[in-house]
Every structure is written in C-alpha cells, then in structure tokens.
Amino acid sequence: MKQLSFILAALLFAVLNVYSQEEPASAVPLTETYYLEQLLNNPACNSLALSLGASGSGMPTCAGVDNNDVWISTTATYQGSKYSLETSNFDAVIYVYDASFNLIACENSNGANAGEEIWVTDLVAGDNYYIRVHSFDGSAGDFTLCGWYLPRSELRNGWSPYPSGDSAPLGYRVTEWTKRRNYAPYNNLIQGTRWEFTNVDTGVITQYEITGNNGNLTLSLLDDMCFGQSYTVRVQVRVDDHWCGYGESLPLLTEAEPTTRLQDGYGGNTYGVSSNIKVNFVGPDQLIEWRFTSNNGAEVLQHFSTSSTISMDEIACIRYNRIYTVEVRVTYCGQTGPWSDADFLIISPLPYTRVTDQYCNTVQFPGATLFTEFINVADQYAWQIAEIDPDDPLLTPVAPAIVTYSPSTNLYLLPLGLEWGKTYRIGVKPFLGFTGDCDTFQEGDYGQFCSITIGDPSALMAPPMLSATDDETGELIQGTDEQLELLAYPNPMSSGDILKLQVKGTSLSPDARLKVFSGNGMVLIDDLVSNFLQGNTIELMSSSNWARGMYFVQVQDARKSLSTNVLLK
C-alpha cells in the first residue's frame, strides 16, 4: 500500500513538473467583470493584453497544433463565465480547465483573425480555473482577453424548504409558487428562467422553463408535483441567448396532504339566498367537499363542487334562519386532505314574495294568469285567495280563503272558480324542501297582499263589431253585422300553434292593423295586418311565454273593426 502511494505521488509530481515547465505554473491572473453590468452600462472589462508563447506545454489540443500556448488563471465568482478573445493576426484556439487540468470546454469556430468567445456554466463558485490560448497553425500573435462572470440563480431567501410565514403543516401547496432571486436593476436583461426539480424519493428530474423575466413558478405546472414529497430545486437564467448555469440546489417540501379552508372574512357572517361563500383555491382539478352541521349535529348537509366559490342556493335542503358550522376538505392530486377547522355562518330568514306589481289593483278575467316574484331556492309557491269588500282598505277577508300550490311563479285563475264582479285579495309565500332528499320543508312568509277584481267574461265574448263613418255627418258609428266575421282556428290553441285568422264578408284596407290583448288587457301585438298575411290568411304564432288563458284578437282599419276571442289551453 505504501509502495502504491509512493508511485502515485511520483506520477503526480512528474505530471505537474511537465506542465510547470511552461506557463501553467506562471499563469497570468484574470479578474472577471459582472456580465449584466456590461450589458446594461457597457463598462470597460479588466482585459489582459498578451502575446502567444514561443513553445507549447504539451497538453492535448482540440484543434490545430500546440507549440505556442499561453496560460491564464481565474477564480470563478459564480457558476458561469464568458471569456472573449480578440485578435487580428492569428486563428485562436481557447480552452477552459479546472484546477486539476480536466478540460471543461474549448472553442475554435471563427477562423483566422476573428477571435473567439467561450461560455462555461458548470463552474464552482470560489474554485480556481485555467484558460489556455494558442494559434491553430502555431503562428505567433498578440491578443486581448476579457472575462465576465454570469448572473447566479437561486431561490430567494425564505422560499426553501417552504415559503416563509407558512403555518403547520409546513410545506408548499402545489398551487403556490416559488421564486428565484430578483435581478433589479437588470430584470429586463433576463430572457428566461429554467427550473430543475429532483424528487428525492424517486430520483425523477423535472424541468420547466419560463420565458421573459418572470421569476415565479407555480408548482402545479409540473406534471409530477404532488403532496407529501421532498425535492431539491435549482434554477438558472438565460441572458444574451445563453443559459448562465444552475445555482445551488436547495430543498423544497410540499404539504403532507392538500388543505383548504374558508377564505378570510367569510366565516361568522350572515348569508341570503344568493350570497356566495369562498374557500382557498387549491388546483384546477380540485374537488371541494362542504359539510354544514346544525341542530347540535342532528342535521348534516354535504355539498360537492369543483369551484372555490358556491352560492347558498346550490346547497340542497339548506334551512334559513339557522346557524351552521362549516367545514371543508379538498381532494387533489389523488389525495383527500383533512377537514378544515370548523367555522360558522348564519343563514338569513327565507325571503317573502308577492304578486308582481303590474297585477295589483287591476281587473282580471277568469282566464288570466298572475305572476309572483322569483325566489332562487323556492321549490313551490303557496297562493292564498280570499274574497274581500272592494271598499275595505285593510283587505279583510269576508269568506274562507282558497289556498293552492304552484311549482312555478305563475298561477292560472280559471280552475279556481272565481266569480266575476267580486274582488279578491291575493298573497304568495315560498316553500323550500319539497324536492330532493330533504326530510322536511320550510316555508317563508306571505308578502304584501294586493287586490284584483274579476271582470265580466262576456265582455271578452262580444260579437264582431262594424265601425263606419256616416257619409253625411262624418261621425263614427258602430253596429253589428252578421255578415261580417273574424274567424280564428285552431281555437282553443296550444302553445306554439300557428293561429290563423280570416276576415269574412269584407275586405281590408292596406292600413288595417292587428291587435292581440291578454286577459288582463295587456297589449301583446299591435302591428300592420300586412306583416302577417300569408295569401288571404292572417297567421301568427303564439309566443312561448304567453300564459294559459283567454286572449282578445282585433282586426281594424279606418272603416271597420272585427274581433274574436281565442283560448290558449
């Protein structure tokens, strides 16, 4: 063993002795300048003016012959350096070696009298290196050499092994981002960033590049990034179309499992039927499970969503005027995290509703349809109709009320058997919990009652009318003529049918108009008949939003007015 050590020592001495016969032992020191400063402000570099030697050092060449090399020494500031050689009288070959004379890089690409530049990115900060120069053909010549150290890249302070300020369990959520160091005032010189993550357990290496000077990386962009894993991460930047070398590898830890919770400001508040509540976003493929508990744990509601925001009306069987504790958990990246700490919120009372204002204090015919205000969470609406004295401002019922239920916001009056000439008060309240798996329903309150009067249905059944002008007086006179008639078919009609009208016993002037009125007197159509003519027939399609009931149709020109009634069933 001692003999082997002696032999190795002798060989090392011999090798170093060979090299020291030439320039390595007396290499000229070179001080490097920061390359970003050169790009931004173009300061003069710490250049060396040198001449090629008279003989070679015997080192292997990557191009040409070695009989006149020169050696320069330098110490790496960061991981990457650029060396620029300028000459006008020979074809240069340039090399970079480590302190043990292992070749790192060589360059001879520009030809005679053009100089060379060489970029190296695998240096170790603080280590010594050698630069060697000779001519391709062994000729002599002068040159200058500049050295630039490239920007070092690494994670910003406080971002390894997890972001500063993170609370237990420590680690990154995969939708968080990590940050490299900032290069102000040189930020705009950075053309891109390359991140390299090595999974400590599997050894899998993942790289991701970002163009431009953005220094943040969202971890969910990496395909294999998941929870409960340990990584080492290093980063490098691109400047002047060259990557500058990876910085130090640092540990990076992800959370043991995915977590979420109600966003700040959403717990402890009161929410109505369409209010939104939010949890912290985890990832684009997240599945959020919500748990609402009330009545001392006797009632538990669950809701699933892929969005971080839900509206209260999305939660089946939610009870209003109640306090709930709320917990959330998330499934992401194939893992389901724990329930969050319980928070609480208050649900406001179920809102009241009422008949829409346009129907209050009006005359309605038995075939009319009334509408109420829409409530997001209502499954049904209860309508209460009671006869009142039309002169009673308090709307006090004078007969038992009729209560009927509707799953929609409209009520068709005809089946109720209301008597014409009488006045009724009408109120509506919403119900919740009739649908789904809800055990019980919950009812709201009646809104403001209002009155309607039922009109004489015979007023809608008047015979066709003839209007004419007296030739002597010019006054408008009205009368009936059994030979004049407005025919309508089909009658009754269904929603979506095409209603056809024909005028019998007379012709219409070009300015004749068509009018259609609803049972409560609302004008639905008022237009020229010519816009609806198909040959000798007037055709119109009932709108899909027409309610069931009786409609009044009128055709009129300057001399005559014909009308009929159509029932939409």
pLDDT confidence bin for 4, thresholds 50/70/90: very low
DSSP state of 303: E
Cβ contacts of 473 within 8 Å, gap of 6 or more: none
Domain with CATH 2.60.40.10 in the chain: 177-253, 270-347
**How many CB atoms are located within 10 Å of the residue 113 CB?**
12
CATH architecture of 18-149: Sandwich (2.60)
| Per-range mean pLDDT, top range of 42-56, 89-103, 158-172, 432-446 | 89-103
pLDDT at 569: 73
Per-residue pLDDT tens over the stretch 443-493? 888 999 999 999 876 555 444 444 444 445 545 444 444 456 788 888 778
Q: Return the bridge partners of 519, or none.
A: none
Domain with CATH 2.60.120.380 in the chain: 18-149
* Topology given in CATH for the domain delimited by 462-568: Immunoglobulin-like (2.60.40)
pLDDT confidence bin for 9, thresholds 50/70/90: very low
Per-residue pLDDT tens over the stretch 515-560? 887 766 677 888 888 888 887 788 887 666 677 777 778 888 777 7
What is the H or E stretch that residue 10 is in? helix 2-20
pLDDT at 483: 56
Per-residue pLDDT tens over the stretch 68-122? 999 999 999 999 999 999 999 899 999 999 999 999 999 999 988 889 999 999 9
Q: Indicate whether 1 pLDDT > 70.
A: no
Q: What class does CATH assign to 357-457?
A: mainly beta
pLDDT at 528: 87
Q: What is the CATH number of domain 270-347?
A: 2.60.40.10
pLDDT at 66: 86
| Gap between the terminal Cα atoms of the chain | 111
Candidates 440, 230, 481; CA nearest to 322 is 440
Cα separation, 299 vs 318, whole angstroms: 10
- Which pTM value belongs to this model? 0.59
State the average pLDDT for the chain. 85
Q: Indicate whether 5 pLDDT > 50.
A: no
Structure tokens at 548: 């069931």
CB 413 within 8 A of CB 369: yes
pLDDT at 295: 87
CB 84 within 8 A of CB 185: no
Q: Return the bridge partners of 451, or none.
A: 425
Say whether domain 177-253 belongs to CATH 2.60.40.10: yes
Q: Return the bridge partners of 479, or none.
A: 466
Domain with CATH 2.60.40.1930 in the chain: 462-568
What's the Cα-to-Cα distance from 388 to each of 249, 381, 412, 421, 520, rounded to whole Å?
85, 22, 20, 12, 20
Secondary structure of the chain: what % helix, strand, coil (to 5)? 10, 40, 50
Phi, psi at residue 365, to the nearest 5°? -90, 160
